[in-house]
A and B are shown apart, each in its own frame.
Chain A
């Protein structure tokens, strides 16, 4: 309180000195209050004194600040003047030497005339009054931060402030130096004083300071960090205070100043300069959200969400039901197994309370493996073919609807020794002729499998082909044995047929002689003759000898021509024999490859000839090539012509069965590769049933439904029906020949196992 009183007095005294303009006074006080905290109290007094006059007037801010500047200039501080004076000191001193004799005026200054004759004042040296001792300073070397070694050549070591040389301190002799080392003076540091060039010696005080610094003590001597506090202000309420003045009025009168300020603000609000509750402009964010304008997009087509883990089950609970807990054996088994072999990764455990459950030690492992799973097992969206597989299959009728077709063995014809090479059913459909490796031709009763007739045509050669003459009025069987083609008349038919057949065969003997007499002609491919008497008696009236082994026989439908095929025969491979005249001719002048087989068209004068790769059809009337079929097989084994004449099936040794539609293309219409081994024979049913078969070395016969439509636009329908298994594969040969009953759905097959079979 005492201090406030002092201030008050001071303030009031200033009021008297300064101008009475209250506005200015207010501003000054305001400014001073802002700068000096000491004058706070006095400012308040100023306010209170001026408030009476202008309660409603609000001061102009800008005008007040201008006036303030003026005010401050009016009262210059003494320190500024002192500064100015001291600034001139140096100039005065420079001239002191020149104007020593100048007289001193009343101000204590000397008046001197300079060289130009102008009056010049020289002021006396100012005594600063500092208690500083400059004696040290004068001796101070002022060479600055220069290495002392540069002065080695000189007797001095630098210059003092007055430019005088500081001489090198005298150095003692070596003995002195030795003595110096022995008697270390107090404060000896062994260091060189850079300024003096002498030994740097520290005083006792300096050492003490160093020690205190080292000890983290206050280096100033005599500083007591633990002085008792002086309680300048106490919390005690004095009974008799120094000042008992009552509370000033201003303490409880509303402040005019504040009212002014408030009014100023209110006016500003009224005028619209201040907009209260002005909506804050949103702060500009320091970082902008790059995803702020993100529009949710559809997942990419290839996006596959990670598969979810299955939810935990009962036995993963901390307190699973008893039945989920493993038994001792299960526990043991689980522990003994490798982790890969375990059915579960965990062993169910029971804890009585959730707080007893220990930390899960495999958590990191598990997360890691999950990440590995997701990362290492790429999820790929497979393009599922949304096609019903059934719809891809061709719409084929069920085999059940295509009955009848042969399914089981009905009869086995046993008797041949060695393979049964060939078989053929007679046109009446009652007798089956077979030929085998034993050189015999046998005729069988179809249903019972009874051998009714046999003839041995050769001792060592196989019967390669037998074919009945395709007319019902005669009963002539052509059999190819080695180089010979025999015409047999089995004596199992009624006498009339037998006589007619023999007459047909013998008829040509007369005419044949005439032809042979022509010497200009080349020798015919076949030589007609009567076989041995023994054979004639057995029912073999005629034979034809061809030079090459005959592999295949084909009758013309009228029964007058027989085409034989001898693959080794080059250009004479195909020979056509005329029964009625006993003549033979080979239709081809040039060989077009190894000829496998020749067949007549069922009703047109066309001859089909199969080489190893191609099937050619020749017009017999015009004697020209009609068409060359390219089945694409490497080695054709057999082929057959459909009874309609427009379709051909070709079997090949490279397991393929090829259906050719002659109207369609020279390429096969269908290629059927169902056999595991070479196909030996293929055959159409010639009696009206839409069936064909292929026989193979794998011992199976495959039966197909092959319907040829009368409508030219409709392609043939081919349906595999049945695989007939029964023939045993002997020496890599299975079924060697097949034939159909002329009308019924009965299939005959010749096997390498020495049997022929009837399938129905």
Chain B
């Protein structure tokens, strides 16, 4: 309070209560008087003063689900509050705007990206799936460590299973498990381990639960596939009475012969293409799927049964579950992200709606470091960062494509927020990495 100018009596003061959900930086919650003309910076100084921290931490302040961007005075005036009442200010570490790091040029549209977590003996690498049907592994300096060709059509989704394996899905209706081995930083090899067959149309999206050794796939045929991440535990591939393929097709089948396996189960209930799947964060036997048919369905993976169906207003095209909050974020073709609490029994209850994209939201990824934040990729050519606490404030940051000389409104197809940063790929044939420095 006395930071500004002790001599000068502030014109008016308001009672505020500082609360936080982060125990590390908590301060006493008793209401204190602060000058009402303070903005974010002043309030941040107050909190730092209360914390007695040596190095000041920048804070952001949330009031009623929105970031405080004006003075307390004008906030009170705008919302018609009484200056006598105690204002509860939730303070959070201020998010640092992501910085463009690098981008990797591909031959074709990048449909999917995934970043591996770095371990002691290995730097994190970035896996990208492209519409040319090739999965590539990149190191952060932009070199292709290895390429995996084998899909007969465009790769739609890639996901790391663990540091050594990843799974890809393609428009050729199949999934592939790959083994990634890297002897050194520049030397690595890829080997397809297994091919999973069972979908009758494009496999749009994948979800991996390494602990349960399960893979979920979303098919455009309206089916959700449950696969084992260990090929040996998978059943045999269904026998299809395949006709003799034309010569050309045979030639197209490159790479080593891959053993085909079938699905642990095909969950069929959606009436339209399934666009996103996710495991429940706490319970590996529960899965969620979203589809163009407007529904979010909850599946019990042990019995392969449909548990719950929630119908929303719009076709849903992406899904991501926020782990600690147990909230499902669903991107829709109607240009917004709907936050659903899957536990509520009432059908179709949306917790909040994040609006800001100007086209379909096709990729979602939660911030691994901050449970409240998520990144979204939209067909409007932007990746946006959101804070679910401040659902009415709009997005925190907007990341545009950094491709030079190309129209900036090219679609972004996928985003993944990993320890590397925000990795996104899109129609501009690039994987773009935006570093998000830790607070």
A residues adjacent to B (C-beta < 8 A): 404, 408, 410-411, 428-430, 445, 447-450, 452, 492-497, 499, 537, 743-744, 746, 760
**What residues on A are CB-neighbors of B360 within 8 Å?**
410, 447, 760
The answer to whether A744 and B246 touch across the interface, beta carbons within 8 angstroms, is: no
Contact indicator per residue, chain B 271-305, by CB within 8 Å of chain A (1) or not (0): 11100000000000000000011000000000000
- How far does the Cβ of A661 sit from chain B's closest Cβ, in whole Å? 31
Partner of B201, one of A428, A449, A450: A428
Assembly CA distance A430 to B111 (angstroms): 17
Partner of A450, one of B131, B243, B335: B131
B106 at the interface (CB under 8 A from A): no
Partner of B220, one of A430, A495, A760: A430
The answer to whether B246 and A496 touch across the interface, beta carbons within 8 angstroms, is: no
B residues adjacent to A (C-beta < 8 A): 109, 111, 131, 153-154, 171, 173, 199-202, 220-221, 240-243, 246, 248, 271-273, 292-293, 313-315, 317, 333-335, 358-360, 362, 379, 411, 413, 427
The answer to whether B248 and A447 touch across the interface, beta carbons within 8 angstroms, is: no
A–B pairs, 17, beta carbons within 8 Å: A404-B334, A408-B358, A428-B220, A429-B273, A430-B201, A430-B202, A430-B273, A445-B171, A447-B333, A447-B360, A448-B427, A450-B154, A494-B199, A494-B200, A494-B201, A497-B200, A743-B272
- How far does the Cβ of A108 sit from chain B's closest Cβ, in whole Å? 153
The answer to whether A448 and B411 touch across the interface, beta carbons within 8 angstroms, is: yes
**What residues on A are CB-neighbors of B248 within 8 Å?**
537
**What residues on B are CB-neighbors of A537 within 8 Å?**
246, 248
- How far does the Cβ of B211 sit from chain A's closest Cβ, in whole Å? 32
Assembly CA distance A450 to B199 (angstroms): 20
Partner of B379, one of A410, A428, A493, A499: A410
**What residues on B are CB-neighbors of A760 within 8 Å?**
333-334, 360
**What residues on B are CB-neighbors of A410 within 8 Å?**
333, 359-360, 379
Assembly CA distance A760 to B359 (angstroms): 9
**What residues on A are CB-neighbors of B379 within 8 Å?**
410-411, 447-448
- CB-nearest residue of chain A relative to B359? A410
**What residues on A are CB-neighbors of B362 within 8 Å?**
447
Assembly CA distance A408 to B315 (angstroms): 15
Assembly CA distance A445 to B292 (angstroms): 14
CB-based A-B contact count at 8 angstroms:
74
Assembly CA distance A430 to B221 (angstroms): 9
Assembly CA distance A249 to B333 (angstroms): 144
The answer to whether A744 and B315 touch across the interface, beta carbons within 8 angstroms, is: yes
- How far does the Cβ of B202 sit from chain A's closest Cβ, in whole Å? 7
**What residues on A are CB-neighbors of B202 within 8 Å?**
430, 445
The answer to whether A452 and B171 touch across the interface, beta carbons within 8 angstroms, is: yes
The answer to whether B240 and A496 touch across the interface, beta carbons within 8 angstroms, is: yes
Assembly CA distance A186 to B317 (angstroms): 154
Assembly CA distance A686 to B141 (angstroms): 51
- How far does the Cβ of A413 sit from chain B's closest Cβ, in whole Å? 12
- CB-nearest residue of chain B relative to A744? B315
**What residues on B are CB-neighbors of A448 within 8 Å?**
109, 111, 379, 411, 413, 427
Partner of B292, one of A495, A499, A744: A744
Given A410-B379, A494-B200; 5 other pairs, CB 8 A cutoff: A430-B201, A452-B154, A496-B200, A499-B243, A760-B333
- CB-nearest residue of chain B relative to A760? B333
**What residues on A are CB-neighbors of B271 within 8 Å?**
743
Assembly CA distance A445 to B243 (angstroms): 26
- How far does the Cβ of A475 sit from chain B's closest Cβ, in whole Å? 10
**What residues on B are CB-neighbors of A493 within 8 Å?**
200-201
Assembly CA distance A411 to B109 (angstroms): 15
Assembly CA distance A429 to B241 (angstroms): 26
- CB-nearest residue of chain B relative to A496? B240
Q: Name the residue in B153, B173, B411, B413 with the highest tally of chain A Cβ atoms < 10 Å from its Cβ.
A: B411
- CB-nearest residue of chain A relative to B358? A408
Given A429-B272, A494-B201, does the pair A450, B359 have CB atoms closer than 8 Å?
no
**What residues on A are CB-neighbors of B109 within 8 Å?**
448, 450
Partner of B314, one of A404, A408, A411, A445: A404
- How far does the Cβ of A218 sit from chain B's closest Cβ, in whole Å? 118
Assembly CA distance A499 to B246 (angstroms): 13
Given A447-B362, A448-B413, A450-B131, does the pair A495, B240 have CB atoms closer than 8 Å?
yes
The answer to whether A404 and B313 touch across the interface, beta carbons within 8 angstroms, is: yes
Assembly CA distance A410 to B292 (angstroms): 15
- CB-nearest residue of chain B relative to A494? B200
**What residues on A are CB-neighbors of B317 within 8 Å?**
447
Assembly CA distance A404 to B362 (angstroms): 19
**What residues on B are CB-neighbors of A404 within 8 Å?**
313-314, 334
- How far does the Cβ of A400 sit from chain B's closest Cβ, in whole Å? 13
- CB-nearest residue of chain A relative to B273? A430
The answer to whether A495 and B242 touch across the interface, beta carbons within 8 angstroms, is: yes
**What residues on A are CB-neighbors of B334 within 8 Å?**
404, 760
**What residues on A are CB-neighbors of B272 within 8 Å?**
429, 743-744
- How far does the Cβ of A452 sit from chain B's closest Cβ, in whole Å? 7
**What residues on B are CB-neighbors of A430 within 8 Å?**
201-202, 220, 273
**What residues on A are CB-neighbors of B242 within 8 Å?**
495
Assembly CA distance A496 to B173 (angstroms): 12
**What residues on A are CB-neighbors of B201 within 8 Å?**
428, 430, 493-494
- CB-nearest residue of chain A relative to B411? A448
- CB-nearest residue of chain B relative to A449? B411
- CB-nearest residue of chain A relative to B245? A495
Given A430-B201, A760-B334, does the pair A494, B173 have CB atoms closer than 8 Å?
yes
**What residues on A are CB-neighbors of B154 within 8 Å?**
450, 452
**What residues on A are CB-neighbors of B292 within 8 Å?**
429, 743-744
**What residues on B are CB-neighbors of A495 within 8 Å?**
240, 242-243
Assembly CA distance A493 to B109 (angstroms): 21
- How far does the Cβ of B430 sit from chain A's closest Cβ, in whole Å? 16
Assembly CA distance A428 to B242 (angstroms): 23
**What residues on A are CB-neighbors of B313 within 8 Å?**
404
**What residues on A are CB-neighbors of B359 within 8 Å?**
408, 410
**What residues on B are CB-neighbors of A447 within 8 Å?**
317, 333, 360, 362, 379
Which 10 pairs between the two chains have the least Cβ-Cβ distance?
Answer: A494-B200, A430-B220, A494-B173, A744-B315, A760-B333, A495-B242, A499-B243, A410-B359, A430-B273, A410-B360
**What residues on B are CB-neighbors of A450 within 8 Å?**
109, 131, 154
**What residues on B are CB-neighbors of A497 within 8 Å?**
200
- How far does the Cβ of B423 sit from chain A's closest Cβ, in whole Å? 19
- How far does the Cβ of A247 sit from chain B's closest Cβ, in whole Å? 119
Assembly CA distance A430 to B241 (angstroms): 25
The answer to whether A492 and B200 touch across the interface, beta carbons within 8 angstroms, is: no
- How far does the Cβ of B262 sit from chain A's closest Cβ, in whole Å? 14
**What residues on A are CB-neighbors of B131 within 8 Å?**
450
- How far does the Cβ of A746 sit from chain B's closest Cβ, in whole Å? 8
Q: Name the residue in A448, A449, A452, A499 with the highest tally of chain B Cβ atoms < 10 Å from its Cβ.
A: A448
- How far does the Cβ of A742 sit from chain B's closest Cβ, in whole Å? 9
- How far does the Cβ of B129 sit from chain A's closest Cβ, in whole Å? 13
**What residues on A are CB-neighbors of B315 within 8 Å?**
744
Assembly CA distance A494 to B246 (angstroms): 15
Assembly CA distance A492 to B249 (angstroms): 12
- How far does the Cβ of B374 sit from chain A's closest Cβ, in whole Å? 21
**What residues on A are CB-neighbors of B153 within 8 Å?**
452, 492
- How far does the Cβ of A274 sit from chain B's closest Cβ, in whole Å? 101
Assembly CA distance A497 to B199 (angstroms): 12
- How far does the Cβ of B201 sit from chain A's closest Cβ, in whole Å? 6
**What residues on B are CB-neighbors of A428 within 8 Å?**
201, 220-221, 273
- How far does the Cβ of A446 sit from chain B's closest Cβ, in whole Å? 9
**What residues on A are CB-neighbors of B111 within 8 Å?**
448
Assembly CA distance A614 to B372 (angstroms): 63
- CB-nearest residue of chain A relative to B317? A447
- CB-nearest residue of chain B relative to A499? B243
- CB-nearest residue of chain A relative to B413? A448
- CB-nearest residue of chain A relative to B332? A760
Assembly CA distance A473 to B153 (angstroms): 22
- How far does the Cβ of A591 sit from chain B's closest Cβ, in whole Å? 44
Q: Name the residue in A411, A450, A746 with the highest tally of chain B Cβ atoms < 10 Å from its Cβ.
A: A450
- How far does the Cβ of B272 sit from chain A's closest Cβ, in whole Å? 6
